Amino acid sequence: MKVAFFSTQPYDRQYFNRYNKGHEISYFEAGLNRQTASLAAGSGAVCVFVNDQLDAGVLKELHSLGVTLIALRCAGYNNVDLAAAAEMGFTIVRVPAYSPHAVAEHAVSLILTLNRKIHKAYNRVREGNFSLDKLTGFDLYGKTVGVVGTGKIGIAFATIMLGFGCRVLAFDLVANRQLEEKGVEYLPLIDLFRESDIVSLHCPLNEQTHHLVNASTLEMMKPGSMLINTSRGALINTADVIEALKRHKLGYLGIDVYEQEEKLFFYDRSEELIPDEEILRLMSFPNVLITSHQGFFTNEALTEIARTTLANIALFESGEPLKNKVLS
């Protein structure tokens, strides 16, 4: 099957070429949007990532070009207009669980780095500065960690934090019995915010969770608490978080995602003037750590993404049942 592959990075070519058997893939560095949709001409499928735009206009263009399959090489699909896609008859597949441990472990690495100021210590030693002044952290043991969303990633994260000896609280629409048996306590979201020393977000982005962290919910949190987001950028109202950092209400922020990341992440912007004032402000805080959506970036995850995506395309082409379908 001919596949137009958008938002291509070198590692995409490496892993997809390694596991591809028979599909004709055209790789494009450009993200999918209304200006680039025409690149899919002659292809029956497009392969897209988290920041590609599949609104009604883009879908209409793809439909006119004869594209019938949208293969998401990620778990989330909030960037797709599902109603428009259904109306036009698209089939949509995804990679629901490429490596929950990869993202969960990255969330933990953000916590440890922020807490023990590893990034600062590394830079000091590189410059011959062996002082420990202002590198004080805190014991994770005995702290209360709130997990918002206990899908596969949330479960993996909660399990790790239990191993540190933390009290783990959780919020989700349905409690996970196995986590409860391990000692995780499910609470209403308000109580989780109020009681947690660290809050980590592991929920999908939808109408209910958009700007879940805002001025009101930040006010509920303990003074000096830590907020971690490795899910979707728009779970956080960035302006409100900046204000909370300025007032010292929020003590630490670690993010691997950002609401406007499609204009920044996955590309080298080091020789450019960055026009996004909010991320520049976040970068100026000494208690903020930002990584550019690398939580998924492990060998195991990249292998699973490639294999599952290619299998999804092959099953669609052969007319077999699609176990990873979002829409068909």
pLDDT digits (tens, 9 = 90+) for 111-133: 999 999 999 999 999 999 999 99
Point out the catalytic residue in the list 106, 262, 293, 304: 293
Q: What is the pLDDT of residue 97?
A: 83
Point out the catalytic residue in the list 61, 232, 262, 304: 232
What would the mean pLDDT of 53-62 be, rounded to a whole number? 97
Q: What is the pLDDT of residue 327?
A: 84
Write the pLDDT tens digit of every residue in 168-210: 999 999 999 999 999 999 999 999 999 999 999 999 999 999 9
**Is 232 labeled as catalytic in the residue annotation?**
yes
Element (H, E) at 19: helix 10-19
The phi and psi torsions of 67 (rounded to 5 degrees) equal: -70, 135
| DSSP summary character for residue 61 | H
**Using CA atoms, how far apart are residues 209 and 218, in angstroms rounded to an integer?**
14
**Using CA atoms, how far apart are residues 284 and 148, in angstroms rounded to an integer?**
27
Q: What domains appear along the chain, each with residue ranges and CATH number?
A: 2-98+299-327 (3.40.50.720), 100-290 (3.40.50.720)
Q: What is the pLDDT of residue 76?
A: 86
Q: What is the pLDDT of residue 313?
A: 98
Residue 78: closest CA among 210, 266, 256, 237: 210
Point out the catalytic residue in the list 105, 195, 259, 261: 261
Please report where in the chains the tokens 């023990």 appear, as a residue: 116
**Using CA atoms, how far apart are residues 303 and 37, in angstroms rounded to an integer?**
27
**Using CA atoms, how far apart are residues 154 and 315, in angstroms rounded to an integer?**
29
The percent of the chain in helix, strand and coil, each rounded to the nearest 5, is: 40, 15, 45
pLDDT reading at 73 higher than 90: yes
Q: What is the pLDDT of residue 98?
A: 87
If you average pLDDT over each of 72-81, 91-100, 306-315, which comes out highest?
A: 306-315
Q: pLDDT confidence of 262, banded at 50, 70, 90?
A: confident
Contacts of 235 (CB under 8 A, 6+ apart): 201, 203, 205, 209, 210, 211, 212, 213, 229, 257
Contact present, 321 and 315 (Cβ < 8 Å):
yes
Q: pLDDT confidence of 328, banded at 50, 70, 90?
A: low
**Is 248 labeled as catalytic in the residue annotation?**
no
What would the mean pLDDT of 153-158 be, rounded to a whole number? 97
What would the mean pLDDT of 268-284 be, rounded to a whole number? 95
The phi and psi torsions of 275 (rounded to 5 degrees) equal: -80, -10
Q: pLDDT confidence of 263, banded at 50, 70, 90?
A: confident
**Is 261 labeled as catalytic in the residue annotation?**
yes
Reported pTM: 0.91
Average pLDDT of the residues of the chain: 96
Q: What is the pLDDT of residue 184?
A: 98
What would the mean pLDDT of 272-297 be, rounded to a whole number? 96
Contact present, 226 and 251 (Cβ < 8 Å):
yes
Quickly count: other Cβ atoms within 10 Å of residue 196's Cβ: 26
